[in-house]
Chain A
Amino acid sequence: MNVNTQFKKGVLELCVLVLIERKDRYGYELAQEVSRHIEVAEGALYPLLRRLVGDGYCTTYLQESSGGPPRKYYRITPQGREYARQTVGEWRSFVAGVARLLEEGEEE
């Protein structure tokens, strides 16, 4: 597994947390939302979601869908909200740091 996929896995967790923080979503919907913005193997979502549930960052419930079996929705927990807040903070400072580094390179 190369660095790029490891990196994407970390980012995927962040994206999923932020998406379910905004509203409850089901798996396919999450995959679509993430794919709109970044290129990622959508299948990686499901093991990740299982782990988030296992860690207590979100819970699941079933809800009827129009003409079909019920869908599994993911809802964020207060713990998950806190974790998302931290992770977003880390991400922002990370991105800002990289941006500064790149700019310094251009000045030299």
Chain B
Amino acid sequence: MNKEQFLFRLQKGLAVLPSETRKELMADYEDHFRSGLEHGKSEEEIAFELGSPEELAQEALELQPKTDGHAERAATARADVPSSGIVSSNAGPKRQASFSFVRLVLSVLWNLIAVPLWVSAWALAAGLAAVVLALLASPLLFAADFALNRDWNTAQFYAVLLMLGIGIWVVGPFLDLLRFVARSTGRYALWNARFVMGRN
């Protein structure tokens, strides 16, 4: 394999990289050939010492700096579809979460405000729950009262019917609201954890 063949195969393997990164790497290998030739080696010798262009390309995709999200995705995509000649048994690049102390401090600061808001949202939900339960339980209370005192009160009876009606009417929307608050709290907590541990 001469220089041209080596660089051509390498270029093909690096196709998914951002063009800037690819150009830099290609320039590195071209410089390497130039230095090798200056030291009296043949193109074939240099290419042999460099190794398989396909394997090098694969390595280059995996070794992208962690901040380079584009190339990381590219490497993942490539790991799924190995090009001819490469049997890749290694998993994609490591998706490392990067914990940051600064983000932790930020998170603590705004949670000083956010957590009391969440607590009040849950307190409100608990208050509403008590009201809904009382409405639904009113016939039981009325029945118990009647059983104990044997004192029929028609006005109270209609009031209880009305309360039961309202209770049945609001229980559905209330459960939806409860679910919404629970889900939002979960999402908020998850978002915080992700923020502190890095986006991945």
A81 CB-CB contact with B under 8 Å? no
Q: Residue on A with the closest CB to B61?
A: A47
Residues of B contacting A28 in the complex (Cβ-Cβ under 8 angstroms) = 31-32, 35-36, 39
Report chain B residues within 8 Å CB of A89.
none
Contacts of A1 in B (CB 8 A): 88-90
Contact partner, A47, options B25, B32, B49, Cβ 8 Å: B25
Asked whether A55 is an interface residue with its Cβ less than 8 Å from the other chain, the reply is yes
The answer to the question of B178 belonging to the interface, with a C-beta cut-off of 8 Å to chain A, is: no
Residue A18 CB within 8 A of the other chain: no
| B40 at interface by CB-CB < 8 Å | no
Contact of A27 with B28 in the complex, beta carbons under 8 Å: yes
Question: Within the assembled complex, what's the spacing in Å between the Cα atoms of A47 and B89?
Answer: 19
B141 interface residue, CB < 8 Å from A? no
> CA separation between A37 and B28, bound complex, in Å?
22
Q: CB-CB < 8 A to B35: which residues of A?
A: 26-29, 71
Determine the residue in chain B with the shortest Cβ distance to A41.
B51
Q: Does any Cβ of B come within 8 Å of A54's Cβ?
A: yes
Main DSSP-derived SS at the B contact region = helix
If A31-B49, A43-B50, A44-B51 touch, whether A50 touches B89 (CB-CB below 8 Å) is no
Does B68 lie within 8 Å of A54, measured CB to CB?
yes
Complex interface: stretch among B52-60, B100-108, B116-124, B192-200: B52-60
Interface residues of chain A: helix, strand, loop or mixed (majority):
helix
Size bracket, chain A contacts = 20 to 34
The answer to whether B80 has its CB under 8 Å from any CB of chain A is no
Which A residues between 19 and 55 are near B, CB-CB below 8 angstroms?
A: 26-29, 31, 35, 41-44, 46-51, 53-55
Total CB contacts across the A-B interface at under 8 A = 80
Q: Does B172 contact A (CB under 8 A)?
A: no
Chain A residue at minimum C-beta to C-beta distance from B38: A68
A72:B28 contact, CB within 8 angstroms: yes
B151 at the interface (CB under 8 A from A): no
Q: How far is the CB of B65 from chain A (nearest CB, A)?
A: 2
Q: Tell yes or no: B29 within 8 A of A by CB.
A: yes
Most chain A beta-carbon neighbours within 10 Å: one of B38, B39, B88: B38
Report Cα–Cα, A29/B52, bound state, in Å: 20
CB distance from A80 to the nearest CB of B (A): 14
Which chain B residue lies CB-closest to A44? B59
A sample of 8 more A-B contacts (CB under 8 A), given A50-B21, A54-B66, is: A1-B89, A29-B35, A43-B53, A44-B51, A47-B56, A50-B28, A69-B31, A71-B31
Query: 22 A-B Cβ contacts within 8 A?
Result: A1-B88, A6-B90, A9-B59, A28-B35, A41-B52, A42-B50, A43-B50, A43-B56, A46-B29, A46-B32, A47-B56, A47-B62, A47-B63, A49-B28, A50-B24, A50-B60, A51-B64, A54-B66, A68-B38, A71-B31, A71-B35, A72-B31
B residues sitting closer than 8 Å to A (CB atoms) are 21, 24-25, 28-29, 31-32, 34-36, 38-39, 49-53, 55-56, 59-60, 62-68, 88-90
